[in-house]
């Protein structure tokens, strides 16, 4: 019984930390971060990426290697361990909170690489070359 109570308590804490943002909140954050038009991608591209990566859930951790609203990969971009020195120079766990400013800085770094937004399969499959009016505010 104590184990069940502890499990329910921990589940409740995890749920409280989760934040699902609204589309226009994400759009505003993208614009405020200077990403609208950055490297030729409209804000709608980043909002579409966030939608298809996480359904705007800032705390999503789909796999052991994908973190946050943009599902940023720990193989290349964020640090799982303190001794890691990945390209974004941020802890992967910091991508799981409701403040997405660090997520957006990392996205900006990722887009500087040759693959740009094509680094995300979800963007290629759902956003690339599509009408993105639904992701504007």
Q: What is the CA radius of gyration of the chain?
A: 16
**In 18-120, which residue ranges form alpha helices assigned H by DSSP?**
23-32, 43-54, 101-111
pLDDT at 73: 96
Domains, in order of start, for the chain: 18-135 (1.10.530.10)
Greatest CA separation for the chain: 56
Structure tokens at 118: 């094509």
Average pLDDT over residues 107-119: 97
CA 93 – CA 74 distance, rounded (Å): 10
**What are the tens digits of pLDDT across the range 4-37?**
333 333 334 344 356 999 999 999 999 999 999 9
pLDDT at 88: 97
CA distances from 116 to 52, 79, 97, 106 (A): 16, 20, 24, 12
pTM: 0.85
pLDDT at 13: 38
């Amino acid at each position: 019984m104590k184990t069940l109570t502890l499990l329910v308590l921990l589940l409740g804490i995890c749920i409280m930390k989760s934040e699902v943002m609204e589309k226009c909140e994400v759009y505003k954050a993208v614009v405020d971060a200077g990403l609208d038009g950055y490297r030729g991608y409209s804000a709608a591209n980043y909002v579409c990426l966030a939608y298809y990566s996480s359904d705007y859930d800032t705390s999503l951790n789909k796999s052991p290697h994908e973190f946050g609203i943009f599902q940023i990969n720990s193989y290349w971009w964020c640090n799982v361990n303190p001794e890691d020195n990945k390209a974004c120079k941020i802890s992967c766990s910091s991508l799981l909170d409701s403040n997405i400013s660090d997520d957006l800085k990392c996205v900006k770094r990722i887009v500087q690489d040759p693959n740009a937004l094509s680094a995300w399969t979800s963007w290629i499959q759902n956003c690339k070359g599509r009408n993105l009016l639904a992701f504007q505010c």
